[in-house]
Amino acid sequence: MVERFAGKVAFVTGGTGALGRVVAEALYGEGARLVITYILDKEFTSSPGKLRNDKGKVVFIRADVTNEQEVASAFEKTVQVFGTVDYLLNIAGGYMAKTPIAELEVKDWDHMLDMNLKSAFLCSRSALRIMQERGTGRIINISAMAGLNPSAGRGAYGISKAAVVVLTQIIADEVKGTGITANAIAPSILATQANIRSSPGEDYSKWVQPTEIAELIRYLCSDAARSVNGAVINVHGGI
């Protein structure tokens, strides 16, 4: 099999989570070198052994991607180890249960904006500073169906994911014609084990498989997608 991403460096935030690890494995399987950020030790230890054991091609960094200093340090280490960043995959994010605006706590509002928007901003900023020196790169952010279709109870979560779309489109406008692209993917409900456990009785066949998102990310990272910039790709399944 041709390794489309041989020699490329992918920085994957939240790469030990349910979606992140699928994305990381997909890129690794096509030859990419990986930098994977994580917060929870239990997620690191449960990551695929082939990634944890391949220290020549995979670096795990414990980093809070909502913290400016920790993000800067993670990218500095990436450059020290691999020399550059070709792909930034902002997978890390957060979700909260439906809460009406009148009942929404400021701490929950701040948490959603930090996890979903601030993390994407900080990592995109660091990645751009590296990519702009070489005139090439891909930034892929994860928005959500709730960010495109406002609905009751989705205030903090929906607004944070809508802001990810705007961030992506502004970056895309700033980098157009440079060899760098920025795009967003907006899934509905992902068919992860955690989501399935939390929603007994649902028709999971309508949900989106993490592998489908990973396949789309592989396309957006490929040379075939070099002209795709500023897109928001809906992946809503049967929802």
pLDDT at 198: 86
Within 10 angstroms of residue 91's Cβ, the number of other Cβ atoms is 29
- Residue 179 three-state SS: coil
198 in a domain, yes or no? yes
Tokens of 187: 């899934």
- Residue 40 three-state SS: coil
Digit-coded pLDDT (tens) for 92-101: 999 999 999 9
57 in a domain, yes or no? yes
Distance of CA 88 to the CA centre of its chain: 8
pLDDT at 63: 97
Determine the Cα–Cα distance for residues 72 and 60; give it in Å rounded to an integer.
15
- The whole model's pTM is what? 0.96
Determine the Cα–Cα distance for residues 13 and 199; give it in Å rounded to an integer.
26
pLDDT at 200: 87
Determine the Cα–Cα distance for residues 234 and 184; give it in Å rounded to an integer.
9
Q: Please state the domain count of the chain.
A: 1
Domain that holds residue 99: 9-235
4 in a domain, yes or no? no
21 in a domain, yes or no? yes
Determine the Cα–Cα distance for residues 111 and 25; give it in Å rounded to an integer.
28
- Between the alpha carbon of residue 92 and those of residues 11, 21, 88, the distances in Å are 11, 11, 11
Kindly give the residue spans of alpha helices, DSSP state H, lying in the chain: 18-28, 41-45, 49-52, 68-82, 106-112, 119-134, 145-148, 155-175, 193-198, 210-221
Q: Which residues of the chain have pLDDT under 70?
A: 1-2
Digit-coded pLDDT (tens) for 122-141: 999 999 999 999 999 999 99
CATH number of the domain encompassing residue 90: 3.40.50.720
pLDDT at 1: 58
| 125: CB partners within 8 A, 6+ apart | none
3 in a domain, yes or no? no
1 in a domain, yes or no? no
pLDDT at 34: 98
Nearest CA-CA partner of 190 in 177, 206, 174: 206
